[in-house]
A and B are shown apart, each in its own frame.
Chain A
């Protein structure tokens, strides 16, 4: 009985495999190159998803205008990034049903942790925008084959902490953290404290606050901060919560005489109005700053295009999206050259993506051999001297991920503790 049941199960498995997928999915080698896009469209990540999609669209339009990839035009198949379960199903749809050549997108690391193994199982190249496959600050997929993920989640906190130590050492002692209540918030705050310690800066943590991601009322948090009387407030808010918090903090008089470090608030820069954001706040724009004084011609063209199309100034997620598409193009062309001009296989494209470096909107970007993105991060001190009704930064500081991202195979805190300061 046992034998026949097992045989039945094996037979059904084999039959399904026969009608199902071959081991390595066959992709069309003529017609358009299909790029599947996973972009958030609802909830707190919706503006980020939209921004990434704009970057992908800009790259696609430019590449198609220039003749496509090896003569094949790019066609986008856009699906929604939502919960891990639903996004895994969307990824399977893109791979199995739409038979896309590559999937670009996803900003949530919760989703990324689910997508990474699925990309490996499906043998489909996945180029993440902002999502990583980190659990906390540790990499869960040290040797992926088909997954290429974003810079470490804590890069912006590392850069802001280095700048804080460099420029404000001796000017603060009492610190408070107000960070979103999930792994990103906790890890960035822990990285900040570890870096202060490494720099020999003695700090007294007077308040640690963990509002829910996307909160819209910080009255009680601001009151708690007023009570705590910090010299410096550290926050890695990245969504609409940043301007709301600053508005309420400003109304309570907290912005007078207190230093603010907003590692990622530049992601919603147009909402950071001068009316409530003082000058001198350390503000991070992640890996692209739209008004960089030494912006490349490409960046200027993108900013112009973005403003004409959407009446908005772009943020960093666009460059994540843009990079994934141009990196894929460069890898296909590089692999095709090695393959005698033929359209390369998925495995050949993967090999070519490893170490590929291209000119992105914000400057050169590349994928490390362990499939982690390398980019330049931008932060600076807020100023009101600009043509907008919101703050910008001057001077702009830039740091490469070689300086602010842990190297391959090394733990974050081991790496921080190994710094020579």
Chain B
């Protein structure tokens, strides 16, 4: 069942440019970016049992890396941007993670929230470096050395960039699947289920949590670079706590127990927001109600409904 669903999702995403109108394709782009970020967040939450309320820090870090490289440094190659974003995220995640993984549950959540807001304040206040509230523009990147100058921005986004992002999501999903099914992933689950027992079996609990934190950060930053290109701007709101909240919402909506949960959560959240935002200015209220309903009645999210027995590998 899970494999069939996965295959259907891949087919739908590959065929989307021939089926969906351009606007809905541009909406799929942030969904792809969020999916990668959520794969990382779910390694922390679903697999390791640590809920971060500050994951937007790394999404914003990816977006700002893309902005600085394409605007200030004039480096347009998206492969370099991705590598730099991943590197910067890892460098930031190690010290932040070292402090955060000393704690679990609400204390871990509060610490990650604090670091997220610290980064938001940095982006907002150090305006000579970061552009403050006005942010930094993100230039159009080249993909595999191709500039696609003959395509306008929408055609670029819905054509080459879409497939590039989809390919990246595919790689990220394969990589994450490899991680969660590896002995490393098994250790992470052992740490989630019973840290004392895992520790007694010579599993370094903090080291494993830190490793998961760093991997999640790298995925978050890669997702952030994908979000920044369609918007064309990196701004401090990307690091704001509400953005971290949205990431957790997407994860719960999709279902954190299932490997495809992040992807489903991101796509449904974005298309739902698109529809509800046009219908009512009170869309935040509607989303609050949906979140409450999901948590109370469908704690395993949409994937729990679609594939009740399929659990994360």
Binding site for B on A (CB under 8 A): 5-6, 9-10, 12-17, 19-21, 23, 41-42, 79-80, 83-86, 88-90, 92-93, 96-97, 109-110, 113-114, 117-118, 121-123, 135-136, 140, 181-183, 186
Contact = CB atoms under 8 A, between A and B. Distances in A.
B26 A19 contact: no
A84 B231 contact: yes
A17 B155 contact: yes
Contacts of B284: 42
Interface string B21-46: 11111110010000000000000000
A90 B277 contact: yes
B17 interface: yes
7 shortest interchain CB distances as A-B pairs: A16-B159, A13-B159, A121-B153, A96-B23, A17-B155, A114-B233, A41-B281
A97 B148 contact: no
Interface string B288-307: 00000000000000000000
Nearest to B228: A85
Interface string B157-174: 011101110000000000
Given A23-B152, A85-B238, 15 more contacts: A10-B146, A13-B160, A17-B152, A19-B22, A20-B17, A20-B159, A41-B281, A79-B277, A88-B232, A89-B274, A96-B22, A110-B235, A114-B231, A121-B154, A181-B124
A154 to B, nearest CB: 14
B238 A13 contact: no
A17 to B, nearest CB: 4
A17 B233 CA distance: 24
A8 to B, nearest CB: 8
Contact of B151 (A17, A88, A140): A17
Given A15-B17, A93-B23, A20 B154 contact: yes
A80 B275 CA distance: 12
Interface in B186-220: none
Contacts of B156: 13
Contacts of A90: 277
A411 to B, nearest CB: 17
B278 interface: yes
Contacts, number: 138
A182 B235 contact: no
B51 to A, nearest CB: 24
B237 A84 contact: yes
B79 interface: no
B230 interface: yes
Contact of A42 (B132, B160, B274, B281): B281
Majority SS at the chain A contact face: helix
A96 B26 CA distance: 10
Contacts of A92: 23, 26, 154
A9 B144 contact: yes
23 contacts: A6-B144, A6-B146, A10-B148, A12-B160, A13-B148, A16-B158, A20-B159, A42-B284, A79-B277, A80-B283, A85-B235, A85-B237, A88-B232, A89-B26, A89-B27, A93-B278, A96-B26, A110-B235, A113-B134, A114-B231, A118-B153, A122-B154, A135-B134
Interface residues of B, number: 50
A281 B175 CA distance: 64
B245 interface: no
A16 B134 contact: no
B304 to A, nearest CB: 28
A119 B125 CA distance: 29
A182 B22 contact: no
Nearest to B230: A88
B132 to A, nearest CB: 6
Contacts of A17: 151-152, 155, 159
Residue of B144, B153, B160, B233 with most chain A CB atoms under a 10 A cut-off: B233
Contacts of A117: 137, 232
Contacts of A140: 137
B163 A9 contact: yes
B152 A113 contact: no
Contacts of A183: 127, 132-134
Nearest to A212: B124
A130 to B, nearest CB: 15
Contacts of A186: 127
Residue of A6, A88, A117, A186 with most chain B CB atoms under a 10 A cut-off: A117
Contacts of B232: 88, 114, 117-118
B23 A84 contact: no
B106 interface: no
B131 interface: yes
Nearest to A16: B159
B63 to A, nearest CB: 9
A15 B159 contact: yes
B135 A113 contact: yes
Nearest to B24: A97
Nearest to B160: A13
B146 to A, nearest CB: 6
A92 B29 CA distance: 13
B21 A84 contact: no
Contacts of A41: 281
Contacts of B227: 85
Nearest to A83: B237
B144 A97 contact: no
A10 B281 CA distance: 41
